[in-house]
Amino acid sequence: MDMNDFILVSVDDHLVEPPDMFADHIPAKYKDDVPKLIQRVDGTDAWVFEGQEATNVGLNAVAGRPPDEYGAEPTKLAEIREGCYDIHERIRDMNANGVLAAMNFPSYPQFCGQYFARAKDKDLGLAVLRAYNDWHIDEWAGTYPGRMIPISLPPIWDPNLMAEEVRRVAAKGCHSVTFSENPTKLDYPSLHDPHWDPFWQACSDTDTVVCLHIGSSSSVVITSLDAPVDTMITLQPMSIVQAAADLVWSPVLRRFPDLTFALSEGGIGWIPYFLERIDRVYTMHRAWTHQDFKGKLPSEVFLDRIVTCFIDDGFGIECRDKLNLDMVTWECDYPHSDSTWPVAPETLDRHFQGVSDHDINRITHQNALRLFSFDPFTHIPKEHATVGALRALAKNVDLGYRSSERLRKTGTETVTVLDLAAELPTT
């Protein structure tokens, strides 16, 4: 398949919340109590809610910066590419990358809405969280129908409220929710605990996918204080294997046979060995561990029920015969430093040599649209949804590097997609 004929749907991008996001969605009684974006004395921005400051305004939102300026920053909107927080500019950036649709995870509230969960006034916390979800569904995803797959935040402090919110947003067309890969690190019960059963049941009933994003336990992999950041970056995607093992050996998948999870930003190259290992553990140890998969192998359960997601994973594509290609999805990770924006098509094309058109279509968009109950083609004809068609709409999008004035003043260097594609590794 020619690269320009790909239809790309990303199941993992990120947004940076704009300061006016609550204006049209919060009940009048709470309008003065919503989180507010302030500028601190040192010039950085922070969200403030009930006196709590959240400084991860645009954590790793580095799209468009020179690579030597990547990092955990930026810390204020003025340093961030407009496409991170302005939906109109985001669509232009997606067009430049040839991406039809994307799912966007949150920034300052954290992956499970922990920032709202810490509210002293739980009624206020719930009102703000619901307002966030309504803004995300109605404005961020609703402004350009067919372009954004909505995802909701859960009121993680109460599984019954979580179930109610899942059902409420499902009625609005949202069939994905972000949750924690390890809730015990957030001081909640584990995935093995029936505490979460109302939530699981609601997700099962509404065909809502539970997305476990790397880092959603508010922790990163630290091997030692002496290790360079490269160690953490290397291990972070593969660390999702811990959540995968938790899921497989927990009763959740067996007790809720219609429930689907996604290992967001977890990659796929590690999965073949993991499947081999869990099957060996089952056959060698089930007599004394008392696991029972009712005639199936653990690997079969995993392959049937777990959505896997990758950014740039050539080895995983090579090993695709070991995976369930109906459950493999692609992600761009805009605007983070691991993202392939704005050369996602070129990056994928390197790995798709010899892959059938049928398999390319499943990986690039068909699986994502089916799994997340999203149909962009009611709004956008397929012939207008391809990489080539979308990029034709984006010829005036500025892809030049923008250096941070706070780090150094280098001006703007003119860079094209062809320039960036030429820098891609050849293997």
pLDDT in tens, 220-257: 788 888 988 889 888 888 899 999 999 999 999 999 99
Give the H/E segment covering residue 209: strand 209-213
Nearest 5°: the CA angle 77, 79, 80 is: 65
Distance in angstroms (rounded) separating the CA atoms of residues 337 and 332: 11
Residue 365 is given by DSSP the state I
Q: Report the pLDDT averaged over residues 88-104.
A: 98
In this structure, the chain runs to a length of: 427
- Other beta carbons within 10 angstroms of residue 206's beta carbon come to 18
Nearest CA to 209 out of 174, 163, 162 is that of 174
How high is the mean pLDDT of the chain?
A: 92
Residue 86 is given by DSSP the state -
String of b and e for 207-238 (b: at least 16 CB within 10 Å)? Answer: ebbbbbbbbbbeeebeeeeeeeeeeeeebbbe
pLDDT of residue 73: 63
The four Cα atoms 373, 310, 266, 323 give a dihedral, to 10 degrees, of 80
pLDDT of residue 408: 47
- pTM across the whole model: 0.94
pLDDT of residue 346: 97
Nearest CA to 181 out of 279, 301, 264, 281 is that of 264
148-149 and 36-39 strand pairing: unpaired
Distance in angstroms (rounded) separating the CA atoms of residues 181 and 211: 9
Cβ–Cβ under 8 Å, residues 264 and 217: no
pLDDT of residue 57: 87
Distance in angstroms (rounded) separating the CA atoms of residues 402 and 399: 9
| pLDDT over 90 at 401, yes or no | no
Q: Report the pLDDT averaged over residues 259-286.
A: 97
| pLDDT over 50 at 410, yes or no | no
Nearest 5°: the CA angle 383, 346, 141 is: 55
Instruction: Give bridge partners of residue 37 from the DSSP assignment.
Output: 47
Q: Quick one: pLDDT band at residue 409, thresholds 50, 70, 90?
A: very low
The four Cα atoms 287, 292, 293, 299 give a dihedral, to 10 degrees, of -40
What is the phi-psi region of residue 146: left when phi exceeds 0, alpha when psi lies from -120 to 50, beta otherwise? left
Superfamily of segment(s) 3-422: Metal-dependent hydrolases (3.20.20.140)
Distance in angstroms (rounded) separating the CA atoms of residues 195 and 189: 7
Q: Report the pLDDT averaged over residues 363-386.
A: 98
The four Cα atoms 373, 96, 238, 274 give a dihedral, to 10 degrees, of 50
Distance in angstroms (rounded) separating the CA atoms of residues 373 and 53: 36
Residue listed under structure tokens 């996918």 = 209
Distance in angstroms (rounded) separating the CA atoms of residues 60 and 71: 6
Residue 386 is given by DSSP the state S
Assigned token pair, 366: 């068909």
Q: Report the pLDDT averaged over residues 354-363.
A: 98
Nearest CA to 164 out of 120, 133, 118, 119 is that of 133
Q: Quick one: pLDDT band at residue 427, thresholds 50, 70, 90?
A: very low
| pLDDT over 90 at 69, yes or no | no
Please tell me the least confidently modeled range out of 216-220, 267-271, 328-332, 382-386: 216-220
What pLDDT, in 10s, does the model give residues 168-200?
999 999 999 999 999 999 999 999 999 999 999
* Share of residues in the chain with pLDDT > 90 (%): 80
pLDDT of residue 330: 98
